[in-house]
Structure 1
Amino acid sequence: MMELRNASLQLGPNRILEAINFSVQPGESVCLVGPSGCGKTSLLRLAAGLVDISGGSVENRFACTAAVFQEPRLLPWRRMLDNIALGLKARSVPRKERLEIARELADSVGLADKYTLFPHELSGGMQQRVALARALAVGADLLLLDEPFSALDVGLRNEAQELVQRLVVDRGIASLLVTHDLTEALRLAHRVVVISGSPGHIVYEHRVDEPFASRTQSWLYEAAAHLLRQPVVNESFLYKPQSEVA
């Protein structure tokens, strides 16, 4: 379980986040949505331990946490399979075994014919899929995802969403996902957490009880429209920050 209690974040003179309280349970998918600049990515970095908390606390009891951010952050001198297997190499997994795992994951994210390519030979969408496969390779029980599908076209985005959905449903991997897309959040989440304001704070939480298998496109559009009819949610997406801090 991961839990944030009254968490706040200040960077220099800027108060980025204030009074954040929520948790992620084992096997649970939580999606953070809200306007640009409200601090969603900063909150994800706080959860990942990449920035120091200014107040409150963050407690992470998951055994292994892996992150996928907006930039793939691949090693340019490593071929695709070696990038996927990077975390396994750090754990001293034998090369033959880690490359076998990397191939299986590459196949699962639609990169079966790209094994020997370097990052600069891959499209932006392909690079992001490599980053997702790299996070999965280490056997994480919590995935932190910062808009990992934003560089993918519609078809590949649907495939990647289905992959993450299977990880949550079939393998019981917990996830904390940042997205601007309400339909994406509703497709993947057990809970949708809306953040807004400056400093960013939680203004609304919505539990999604519909079974994953029943979340059709028409259901997603209707559910998103229902959420946007909530005044506090609608106002959040109309919020225009003075500066981009997320």
Structure 2
Amino acid sequence: MADRKCMVMRRKERKEKEAAKVTKDVKEVKNEGDKAMDNGEIPSAEAAATNCAADNIQNGDLQVEPVELPPFEIIAGDRIDPFAFKFQFKNVEYSSGRNKTFLCYLVDKGNTADGLLRGCLEDEHTGSHAEEAFFTQCLSDYDSALKYTITWYVSSSPCSACAAKIAEVLKARKNLKLSIFAARLFQWEEAEIQIGLKALHAAGCKLRVMKPLDFSYTWDTFVENEEQPLNLWEDCKENYEYYHEKLADILE
């Protein structure tokens, strides 16, 4: 009982520490050329209304109505800026200012001629989320005759609307297997978020929280690191264990 009380106190201290450091973190990112970031997470209900409008999925094809999008809603590339990675992928509990989603992906189509597809997506939470953009942009040439094995490393787990859409895609495209490794759980206390994560799990998606080794792998594979190793932040392992426990409780 005393150990659990101490753990709660330590988590409270970490939140206060992160709250004090977040302004400094944002300034460091700005000074290194990263784009300015607004404070605060967009509530999932608002995000669902503005970013993840429901699309019909018929016969395994994702039906998307054409819309004119403002520039730089979705940024696609091969590598992530190292300062953006260290800020956005940091697995803290207090995530103020981290209002983007970074999605790093690997796609194996089971065709050795095509090789392994690799890349990154970044959203601004002003239009399509990175999870939705992956299916409409990165898998625009989807072929039902192929077997897809897809792995995502994301800065936070999907919002409720995106989780529901991903689940629909997985149900419609039986030849597609998806694994999601998330640095943090997005608003995991909310009932609708938990429902979305359970729906993903039920649809066959493998949900995991990123371990320290996963952060190092993502750094080596998807970040412009100039061959510099990643120095993991304080409490990385402890924060992983915290989120791992929460996800296990949600999915049980």
TM-score, normalization by structure 1 = 0.29
Q: Which has the higher contact order (CA 8 A, sep 6+)?
A: 1
Higher strand share: 1
TM-score, normalization by structure 2 = 0.29
